[in-house]
Copies of this chain bind each other. A is one copy, B any other.
């Protein structure tokens, strides 16, 4: 039987790769957790992130025009949760979670050193959709831990990537499957 889930329609599109978005202003960095992210163009390289109008990161990206995206593994799950539920307006989340930041190569906002993948982004454009702003970033640099990202894909047999399922639940993809029939 099919049940109506309009109130939770967004969860139909989960699980989702969950990342830290780092922004900064006056050399003061802020980090938040973001599940609503996707690539939008391979060439030129572009990504999109959707952030609530109320989010402090939303304000900082408008001001600074730059951000980094950082992909954590399961070891950072607590930090991922805390950075997704506290506001940088009220608390210094970087200090709170105790993660190490390092300078980026091409943008002012730093990267999260403990993460296994990083995208340095320059704001290309943004537009309002309902309660969020969709920020489009041009990807200037992308790098990843060699042992985790192998032959152009995450090696999920070796690393545990938390994808957001809903509420406090995260799903870890560990099995890999391939379609058996690739032509008809």
B74 touches A177 (CB 8 A): yes
Contacts of A44 in B (CB 8 A): 130-131
In the bound complex, how far is the Cα of B44 from the Cα of A127, in angstroms?
15
Interface string of A13-54 (1 = CB under 8 A from B): 111110100000000000000001111111111111010000
- The 8 Å CB contact of A2, one of B16, B119, B143, B182, is B143
Q: Which of A47, A78, A80, A130 has the most CB of B within 10 A?
A: A130
Contact (Cβ within 8 A) A81 B145: no
Given contacts A40-B134, A97-B184, contact A149 B10 (CB under 8 A): no
A89 within 8 A of B: no
* A153 to chain B: closest residue by CB: B166
0 or 1 for each of A130-147: is its CB under 8 Å from B? (1 = yes): 111010100101111110
Tell me, yes or no, whether A169 is within 8 Å of chain B by CB.
yes
One digit per residue, 1 when the CB lies within 8 angstroms of any chain B CB and 0 when it does not, for chain A 160-183 equals 011101111111111111111111
Task: Tell me the minimal C-beta distance from A60 to chain B in angstroms.
Answer: 19
By the criterion CB–CB under 8 Å, are B131 and A173 in contact?
no
Given contacts A17-B13, A47-B13, contact A177 B152 (CB under 8 A): no
- Fill in one digit per residue for A97-138: 1 if any B CB lies within 8 Å of its CB, else 0: 100000000000000000001110000110101111010100
Contacting pair B149 A179 (CB below 8 A): no
A129 and B40 contact, CB distance less than 8 A: yes
Bitwise, A72-96 to B at CB < 8 A (1) or not (0) is: 0010011011100100000000001
List the 6 closest pairs (A to B, CB-CB), nearest first: A41-B130, A171-B173, A10-B39, A9-B142, A153-B166, A81-B179
